Amino acid sequence: MEQQSQMHAADMQNCCEVVAVRHGLTDYNAQRRLQGQLDVPLNDTGREQCRECGHRLKSMLGEKKSIPIAAIYASPLKRTKESAEIIRQTAGLKQEIILDGRIQEWNAGVLQGHLLDDLPKLFPKEWNAWNRRTRDLFSLKARASRSGHLLDDLPKLFPKEWNAWNRSRDPRFVFPQGESFQERFDRVKEFFLEVTRRHLGQRILVVTHGGVLDDLFRLVRNIPMHVKTNAPKLNAEIHTVKAHINKVPPTVPSPSVSTGSSSSSSTSAAASPTPHANITAAAAAASAAATAAAEVTWEIVSWGKLTKSDSLLSGQVDTHTPIDISVRNIEYA
């Protein structure tokens, strides 16, 4: 037993385990109303979901060879702060909650506060510019209706058209007063790469939003931005991933770039940037960012669970297996 514990500790030495949880249910969730970064609180159902999540986490932490939670991070919005606090208390965790704005939900701008089903009618120009799939989906539905096919059968019956529809989202499109999916992904990626290095050899809890979990799944699976992840992300469900940090040789600074300041005027003059040095510095920064991402190998330990409709669409699969579900409603909350 002691030898197994030592092996487990050695396995975690160059690894950070992330326990990621979406906040509990809100009234906006129940109404299918897009929250985005609106500061909507949990409802009573959401609070109970978080208590149940806390009990599951406590049970998970009580297992043999389990390592404790070293830190708790949460989005600063009310629904995530309250979810994190309920989970923390129920699971018996003592750490203070660290708030980080990088793991807030997608800022959907003018779309926020409206029912999801009303968005194409309220903002037709913007909606079609961002989500060019709308017209194609209506066409697919019409074909299915005329031929008597079920909507759930469309991916199999019309794979070429379905894939064209399913891959046409513009990740850089910005709704008025909002941000693009690419911008959200960039800040979410920055957060997870940073905290996994900070907590090497540890396990952390991150309480966040459905859109952020979507980006985490995209990061872990290396899914292109224009392709939907279709990752299950129910309220107050536990998702566990590991970031394995690969050891790489330290980067040697370029001699043509100043790496620090000096009190000597002659040294300062010699180190003043030239066009060549600026280009080299920019290239070095880009290379460092790429290297940082390449250093991490991601592993999915478990990913939530599927809804009943997900299970029907995907067939008989293990409920903790991440799969590609072609037909599902993605909710940004």
Strand order in the sheet with 97-99: 97-99, 69-74, 203-208, 15-22, 238-245, 296-303
Q: What kind and span of H or E run contains 70?
A: strand 69-74
Amino acid making up residue 256: S
3-class DSSP state of 52: helix
Residue 116, annotated as binding a ligand: no
Catalytic residue among 17, 82, 105, 126: 105
**132 in a labelled binding site:** yes
- As a whole number of angstroms, the distance between CA 123 and CA 45 comes to 31
CA distance 108 to 289: 27
| Whether residue 105 lies in the annotated active site | yes
* Cα separation values, 199 from 44, 89, 278, Å: 33, 22, 33
Active site residue 183: no
- Of 86, 84, 106, the residue nearest 206 (C-alpha): 84
CB atoms under 10 Å from CB of 3, counted, come to: 7
Residue 149 annotated as part of some ligand binding site: no
Q: How far apart are CA 75 and CA 35, in angstroms?
A: 14
Q: Residue 172 annotated as binding?
A: no
Residue 73 marked as a ligand binder: no
Q: Which of 2, 8, 17, 23 is catalytic?
A: 23
CA distance readout (Å), 133 to 19, 124, 128, 161, 214:
33, 12, 8, 10, 19
Is position 28 annotated in a ligand binding site?
A: yes
Distances (CA, A) of 90 to 72, 77, 195: 14, 20, 24
CB within 8 Å of 231: residues ≥ 6 apart: 213, 214, 217, 218, 303, 322
Question: What phi and psi values does residue 238 have, to the nearest 5 degrees?
Answer: -95, 130
Q: Is 239 annotated as a binding residue?
A: no
Q: Is 29 annotated as a binding residue?
A: yes
What is the biggest distance separating any 2 CA atoms in the chain, rounded to whole angstroms?
82
Q: Which two tokens stand for residue 206?
A: 């991150």
Binding residues for substrate, by number, are 22-29, 79, 132-133
- Residues making up the binding site: 22-29, 79, 132-133
Active site residues: 23, 105
